[in-house]
Amino acid sequence: MENVLVTGGAGFIGSHFVRRLLASGDIAKVTVIDALTYAGNLANLRDLQDDPRLEFVHGNILDQVLVDALMSRHDAVVHFAAESHVDRSLTDAGSFVATNVHGTQTLLESARRHGIRKFVHASTDEVYGPLPAGCAREGDPLRPTVPYSASKAGGDMIALAYGHSYGVPVCVTRSSNNYGPCQYPEKLIPLFTARLLRGEQVTIHGNGQHVRNWLHVEDNCQGVELVLRKGVPGEVYNLGGGTDLTTNELTGMLLRITGSTWDSVRYVNDRPANDIRYAMDWRKAAENLGYQPMHDFQEGLERTVDWYRHNPQWWSTVPAALPAAV
């Protein structure tokens, strides 16, 4: 892969991935296309702006003309651009279907026309739906429960269909919950961190027993890069291997790291659709591609909180994402 088009590269995971790709040395050009929605932030790429191999294009993946023009200059695509927040999908499902399904299809159509050599579609463990016990494998049925996961599942399906129908060399990655620096403070870890650092309350929905698998963003990016380089077209790869925690356990860790107490925590009614547990079996990526998450969760979390502590200008510019505790 020499010339890689990265969609959503000004977002959380995309920006970490661009940094990783440029550091790998054998890449001639990385082009980021990003619409800079509320979740996109050029500051995430600022340390890379002098790299002549990086080009930023402010644009929407739904813009077929623009996408076609870009696609013709690249041989691989890594597709992160998405509406990514479950809560927002409950109030604005349409924009999730537009970007996550139609936007994905727009890219695939262009990839088909231009003979792209590899198309990696970044998806999520949430497409498998809640699993009270056991672990989802790549061939398991998809049972998404909210518009976010349903739109991601739609993107997965159309991506794999472009592989079957037109021979587009598509791979899908499904990763668990990512954490790390530069994550917009609407997702649990950065939201709780920002609020606790401000001395504000955090709210837990339900009884706090929901289980999530927390994967450091750099571990996810390792997996995505392996899939880009070695993934077999038509295959799906689960990228898990983080740490399973209930919301209560995770909150306890964040309280300790920020020097706060349980007085800062309030429990509120659960959301109508709040999946109890996600879990994936990621042996396929480990055995076939050599994927191996490296980050210890306690250390990764402390370093993440440290990053938010030392970069208040990054998250204080997005106050709209930090509504008062309810």
Where along the sequence are the contacts to ligand NAD (CB under 6 A)?
7-8, 10-14, 33-37, 39-40, 60-62, 80-84, 99, 103, 122, 124, 152, 175, 177-178, 184
Selected catalytic residue, list 125, 219, 225, 235: 125
Nearest approach, Cβ of 208 to ligand NAD (angstroms)? 19
CA 311 to chain CA mean position, Å: 21
With respect to ligand NAD, which residue has the nearer C-beta, 226 or 264? 226
Q: CA–CA distance from 84 to each of 57, 181, 234 (Å)?
A: 20, 17, 24
Nearest approach, Cβ of 9 to ligand NAD (angstroms)? 7
With respect to ligand NAD, which residue has the nearer C-beta, 33 or 116? 33
Nearest approach, Cβ of 59 to ligand NAD (angstroms)? 7
Closest by Cα among 258, 270, 256, 268 to 195: 258
Does 38 qualify as catalytic in the annotation? Answer: no
Rounded CA gap, 1 and 3, in Å?
Answer: 6
Strands 170-175 and 202-205: unpaired
Burial code (b: 16+ CB inside 10 Å, e: under 16) for 316-326 equals eebeebbeeee
With respect to ligand NAD, which residue has the nearer C-beta, 128 or 184? 184
DSSP code per residue over 161-198: HHHHHH---EEEEEE-EEESTT--TTSHHHHHHHHHHT
The residue of the chain with the least Cβ separation from ligand NAD equals: 11
Selected catalytic residue, list 148, 179, 237, 308: 148
User: CB count, 10 Å around CB of 234?
Assistant: 14
Selected catalytic residue, list 126, 186, 225, 275: 126
With respect to ligand NAD, which residue has the nearer C-beta, 187 or 195? 187
Q: Which helix (H) or strand (E) holds 236?
A: strand 236-239
Nearest approach, Cβ of 262 to ligand NAD (angstroms)? 26
**Collapsed DSSP state (helix, strand, coil) of residue 20:** helix
Nearest approach, Cβ of 19 to ligand NAD (angstroms)? 13
CA angle, residues 64, 65, 66, in degrees to nearest 5? 95
Does 126 qualify as catalytic in the annotation? Answer: yes
Does 308 qualify as catalytic in the annotation? Answer: no
Query: Which residues are the active-site residues?
Result: 125-126, 148
